[in-house]
Structure 1
């Protein structure tokens, strides 16, 4: 089994990153736990071979971002792809921006961008939008866990970033940030976000602009964390190799239960275990190898997914 964290570069689609990973890992069985737009960079979690079974357990994890939001203009895709289709004056004060940001912490629904992978009647929203017949999209559940203003500048500025006890932040020295080509000299805020899965940051930029009485778009985006996997664990696609794998138990958001040899054999046969645990757990053998994902009801563990077919 193998799980990897790569730093997706600017301009590459998540699908193209997967294709490159297939070449470097020597297997066609490679997937990811959540896409990044071409103009976004940062953590892309890849899974290969047997680890693809973990996607349902990893794709719903919270995600952390650093977002560059530019005010005074908007684009069809709500990001820096362009072109600018409408401009509006920017008259808000810094206190207005801070108040608008805090309002997202109570938001429960949000309309996705027209250029998104949301399906309506079997049709992808971005496909319909590209054909000039945009779909009518209804609001979808979202959750903003943390929203923090880090900087506000006259135009997009590629600050270095580094990890801290409170997530990745602007730093004097750190990783270089690659931002898309600026669409103009628009006032830009750098905002740290922690959101639940399914939250579109481009929609956040659009709605933030509306709350401030102007237009806005996403001028740049870095995903700094997916669940337990931070950008500090990510390698470049050019450095991706089988020996750069991350142990699955480090990525899973579940408690770990170590099994005896007899219990491990029963798990590999799909037999429930009489262990009084509630909720999902990761079952490992004495060598800390992931055997299965199970769910407990307080009396026994029901095996949800077996990851290994036999003990070595």
Structure 2
């Protein structure tokens, strides 16, 4: 006999406005406990010191996590010039200093090199795996890591404000896998003045905005009550970047069983990844081919 799953079969997205000082995993665990959910996950880790959008998926919404993880994200962050740290942020030990400070014009001239398709070396203290171990665990043991550069698409990188000679407020929109700390580190090096992140905040992630975020106090207040479900957004929001097609009644029945099903579509090219709905609810993600959706993920 199959063992029944513990918890509620609740599905949807919760946009958490994560505070500083807590890990993304701890936030997910709190949300899962508060909703008594069977399954939970998040779409993109935030450093413990970072704040802002942490999109938590519950139940069937976890099947849309890869789509949100791959979407563009926006970060606003303060760079402190004049010092490099072991973690590339204010949490680490200062390892090098300089009296050099850049002008606004120096910063503006350096930014184009960090836009478009770039190569970025992750921070020593990061979740990158090295021979099966996390880089931050090896770094804590004092091991100097030779981390490989990784590709990153930077849609935009803008100087927003210059409070004083020691600081610069920047905003970046980038793709999956970006390290804001690496941007601050490498920008400081390029300017000859060193630099690290003083604070950072994720303003939006794919379809989710910090303005819609729920704080942990509200989650605690409503935890394990009927009212907490009012905080959830439908799983369909995680499909915002995909075209939508409408399943016929017969097609919906076939799709729910994992088989290709007939859909109604307009202006969709052969092979395009789409999502199908029936009576307003998502039932599958897949490839559109000649009037049918060939499913890759099916929602229960």
Q: Which residue number corresponds to residue 32 of structure 1?
A: 42
Does the 8 Å CA contact 2:60/2:235 hold for their aligned counterparts?
Answer: no
Q: How many corresponding residue pairs?
A: 276
Q: Please say if residues 2 and 242 of structure 1, whose CA atoms lie closer than 8 Å, have aligned partners that are also in contact.
A: no
The 1:282/1:14 distance shift into structure 2, 3 A limit, reads same
Q: 2:195 and 2:297 mapped to 1: Cα distance? A: 44
Q: Is the 8 A contact 1:249 1:256 kept in 2?
A: no
Q: Distance in 2 between matches of 1:258 and 1:305?
A: 16
2:204 alignment partner in structure 1: 225
Aligned counterpart, 1:271: 259
Candidates 89, 110, 115, aligned match of 1:105: 115
Does structure 1 retain, via aligned residues, the 8 Å contact 2:73–2:175?
A: yes
Pick one of 160, 174, 177 that aligns with 1:195. Answer: 174
Decide which of 279, 283, 290 is 2:276's aligned counterpart. Answer: 283
More strand by share: 2
Name the residue aligned to 2:249. Answer: 261
- SS of the residue corresponding to residue 92 of structure 2 reads coil
C-alpha change, 1:226 and 1:107, in structure 2 (3 Å) is same
Flag the 1:71–1:285 CA change in 2: closer, same or farther, 3 A.
Answer: same
* 1:65-116 CA distance string (max 9 Å, x none): 1011110011111111032222112232211101111221144211111111
Other structure's SS at 2:31 match: helix
Name 1:235's counterpart in structure 2.
Answer: 214
Q: Secondary structure at the match of 2:193?
A: coil
Q: Could you tell me whether the CA contact under 8 Å between 1:115 and 1:125 is conserved in 2?
A: yes
**Does the 8 Å contact 2:50/2:201 carry over to 1?**
yes
* Structure 1 SS opposite 2:110: helix
Q: Secondary structure at the match of 2:55?
A: strand
What SS does structure 2 have at the residue aligned with 1:99?
A: helix
Worse overlay, 80-89 or 112-121: 80-89
Structure 1 runs not aligned, ≥5 long: 155-185
Question: For residues 60 and 48 of structure 2, what CA distance do their matches in structure 1 show?
Answer: 27
Aligned CA RMSD, in angstroms, stands at 1.6
Match of 2:105 in 1: 95
Alpha-carbon shift at residue 132 of structure 1 (Å): 0.7
My pick for the range that moved more, 94-103 or 213-222, is 94-103
Contact 1:125 1:134 (8 Å CA) reproduced: no
Query: Are 1:25 and 1:242, in contact at CA under 8 Å, matched by a contact in 2?
Result: yes
**Does the Cα contact within 8 Å between 2:65 and 2:238 map onto a contact in 1?**
no
How does the TM-score come out when normalised to structure 1? 0.84
- Which residue of 206, 228, 234 maps to 1:247? 234
Structure 2 equivalent of residue 181 of structure 1: none
* 1:146 aligns with one of 156, 167, 173: 156
Alpha-carbon contact 1:249-1:282 (below 8 Å) kept: no
Structure-1 residue corresponding to 2:3: none
SS across alignment from 1:251 = helix
Shift of 1:58: 2.0
Give the structure 2 partner of residue 163 of structure 1. Answer: none
**For 1:41-68, what per-residue CA distance to the aligned partner results, in whole angstroms no more than 9, with x for missing partners?**
0000001122222222222111101011
Bigger mean CA deviation after superposition, 264-273 or 30-39 = 264-273
Change in CA separation of 1:103 and 1:20 when aligned onto 2, cut-off 3 Å: same
